[in-house]
Amino acid sequence: MVEMSAAERRAAESIFGDRLDLAQRYVEHLATSGTERGLIGPREVPRLWSRHVLNCAVIEREIAPGSHVADVGSGAGLPGLCLAIARPDLELTLIEPLERRVIWLQEVVDDLGLENVTVMRTRAELAVGQVDADVVTARAVSALSNLAGLTIPLLGGSGEVVAIKGRSAGEEIEKAAKVIRKLGGVETSVVVVGEDLLEEPTTVVRIVVNKPRKIA
């Protein structure tokens, strides 16, 4: 079992609550078959909780109850599966083009019994019209100037993009501003999430498209 520090456990208990056991099983999948099949680098195993799972799951605070969330380039389920575990009220569509990753994602979804998850093998641009999401998430997929074109069209005219980014988030927003406006983005901001829980809080770029949605 992948060990947690006391601080990581406090954060995990706060985020996952009574579904912490599911999160632990997911981390075990990442540490075993996830590394064996190349979805996660072996060196990342000791940092799975802090750098990956908690870093992703904490963005659940930014998503309104009952939302349909599309996770673009889901890969190892980061952040899609983290959100599905933390928030059973959400409907998740994991969009991933690579077959080996899709097979792994479906195996994990089945093992964890996650009834709020659909795995789609397709590219984001081909999913437009098939997916009508309230929120689109992404992590480590592409620079924002390119990512905007992959995510905003999945909103069907209104909603939010919640993209996990690094310290260069502000610079990326500047470079992508014209593209975002052209695609219907009316407000773009950098939000830091989890300062009260995580040693390294998560930086998120939020793009509001047309009408804003209130967080309950």
**For the chain, domain boundaries:** 6-209
Q: Which pTM was predicted?
A: 0.93
pLDDT at 215 over 80: no
Alpha-carbon span 68 to 65, nearest angstrom: 9
- Residues 10, 197: contact at Cβ < 8 Å? yes
- Spatial neighbors of 34 by CB under 8 A, at least 6 apart, are 40, 76, 104
Name the pLDDT band for 216 (thresholds 50, 70, 90): very low
Fold of 6-209: Rossmann fold (3.40.50)
Name the pLDDT band for 73 (thresholds 50, 70, 90): very high
b/e burial code for range 150-184 (CB count within 10 A of at least 16 → b): bbbbbbeeebbbbbbbeeebeebbeebeebbeebb
Q: pLDDT tens across 4-19, in order?
A: 999 999 999 999 999 9
Residue 3 CB neighbour total at 10 angstroms: 8
Burial (CB count <10 Å: 0-12, 13-18, 19+), residue 105: buried
Q: pLDDT tens across 82-132, in order?
A: 999 999 999 999 999 999 999 999 999 999 999 999 999 999 999 999 998
CA proximity to 162, closest of 201, 131, 189: 189
Describe the strand order of the beta sheet including 202-209 as a list of residue ranges: 117-121, 91-96, 68-72, 135-139, 159-165, 202-209, 185-193
Name the pLDDT band for 211 (thresholds 50, 70, 90): low
pLDDT at 136 over 70: yes
pLDDT at 141 over 80: no
CA proximity to 86, closest of 102, 103, 62: 62
